Amino acid sequence: MTISSELFKAIMRNYPTGVAIVTTVYDNEYYGLTVNSFTSLSLDPPLVLIAIDKKLTSHEAINKSNVYAVNILPDDMKDLAIRFATAPREERFRGLKIKTAKTGSPIIEGAIAYLDCKVAAKYPGGDHTIFIGEVIDAQVMNNKLPLIYYNRGYYSIKQTISL
Ligand SMILES: Cc1cc2nc3c(=O)[nH]c(=O)nc-3n(C[C@H](O)[C@H](O)[C@H](O)COP(=O)(O)O)c2cc1C
């Protein structure tokens, strides 16, 4: 017996996450999408993972380029999170200040931090692929507060309950 996708989504909606834009460069073209499946995996060596829907253009790009960068979004970049989840690919990088990471993946100015990764392994995950990334370079760029995704909405952390 499996649960319905409605129940699955209703459960997962209660689990808040940060928000990142994952970028890559393939065939001299930039690709990027909004992601919340990002998590750290290993400290030594430094590994992260993202899970990407096999149907997406970005899946093909990352699968072929074998590199990606994770741009961690601050709470003043909600509009960019929406843009990288919904706008046509040609419009996503329009007007953005970009620098290039060591892998060639684009880094978005205004992001809190980035991790530049080489794909170290790929695992099947149902309708997604898990791309394990070995972090080859990284930088914290500012001390802004992170953007939070919860119950299909965007939030900021305004209050500390406990330290
Ligand atoms: C907050 C948020 C988190 C998302 N996380 C993921 C994710 O982890 N993996 C994924 O495949 N799609 C995720 N998506 C959906 C993609 O951002 C969306 O399908 C995007 O349009 C894909 O771009 P592409 O079609 O150019 O590849 C997320 C969307 C939002 C709004």
Residue 78 maps to which CATH number?
2.30.110.10
63 touches ligand 1 (CB under 6 Å) = no
pLDDT band for position 1 (50/70/90)? confident
In a domain, 162, yes or no: no
Rounded distance from Cα 139 to ligand 1 centre (Å): 23
Could you identify the atom of ligand 1 that is nearest to the CA of residue 81? 31
In a domain, 115, yes or no: yes
Rounded distance from Cα 119 to ligand 1 centre (Å): 19
Rounded distance from Cα 17 to ligand 1 centre (Å): 13
In a domain, 125, yes or no: yes
In a domain, 24, yes or no: yes
Domain count across the chain: 1
In a domain, 11, yes or no: yes
47 touches ligand 1 (CB under 6 Å) = no
pLDDT band for position 113 (50/70/90)? very high
The single-letter DSSP state of residue 146 is B
In a domain, 163, yes or no: no
β-partners of residue 49 are 39, 132
Domain that holds residue 30: 5-156
β-partners of residue 22 are 33, 70
Find the mean pLDDT for residues 42-55. 98
Find the mean pLDDT for residues 115-140. 98
Strand ranges (E), the chain: 17-18, 20-26, 29-35, 39-42, 47-53, 67-72, 98-100, 106-108, 113-125, 128-140, 147-150, 153-156
Cα–Cα distance, 60 to 120 (Å, whole number): 16
In a domain, 68, yes or no: yes
pLDDT tens digits for 54-72?
999 999 999 999 999 999 9
In a domain, 98, yes or no: yes
